[in-house]
Amino acid sequence: MTLPPVVAPIVEGHGEVQAVRELITRIAAEFCGTWTDVAPAFRLDSGKMRRPDELAKAVRVQAERVKGPGGVLVLRDGDDSDIQCPVELARQLAPEPNLVPVPVEIVIARHEYEAWFLAAADSLRSHPAVHNNASAPADPEARRGAKSQLESMMCESYKETLHQAKFSALIDLHAAKEKSRSFRRMVHAVEGLLRKAPR
């Protein structure tokens, strides 16, 4: 029997625990034309993610959940004040190459996960908390403060645990991919994990 691919995520925010499942499932269906199982997310705050021993422990736990194709996806915001380049932060977070027998992908949302919502803000208008004139800025990743920019398009306060999964289920993924470089990286990371065979 062929095992379905499994993506085992590691995230930093409480809202991302539910949101990442929605996002990965949709990316697999819309960009890869396949279904994937998403393991329960392992939450590790941003400080612990920058500690190699803590991140390695989380990667080993999540790798155990991948018995066939698939791998571990580490997702976090790139809002560290000392880091200007998401690629550099991803390089710092990358675990030792042979730590686990499954592929590991690192994705850094520039500056925040919510910048991906900004990139596809027009598609959130159907949500009752979002104004009908919500519109994606020209460069959604240009500056910090994506949550406050998003909140300015809403008629209530933005709360990660309340809105993040619902918005992840609604956004136009193709619009987000077109306007957000870090979301394109997210799509490519999921595509890569689904195509790679176990080591």
Asked whether residue 83 carries a pLDDT value surpassing 90, the answer given is no
Residue 1 pLDDT class (50, 70, 90 cuts): low
pTM of the model: 0.93
Name the pLDDT band for 81 (thresholds 50, 70, 90): confident
| pLDDT per residue as tens digits for the range 84-97 | 788 888 888 898 98
DSSP 111: S
Say how far apart CA 116 and CA 45 lie, in whole Å: 20
Q: Is the predicted pLDDT of residue 105 greater than 70, yes or no?
A: yes
Phi, psi at residue 65, to the nearest 5°? -80, -10
- Decide if pLDDT at 82 tops 80: no
What sign does the CA torsion over 54, 180, 125, 39 have?
negative
What is the set of domains in the chain, with CATH numbers?
6-113+165-172+179-195 (3.40.50)
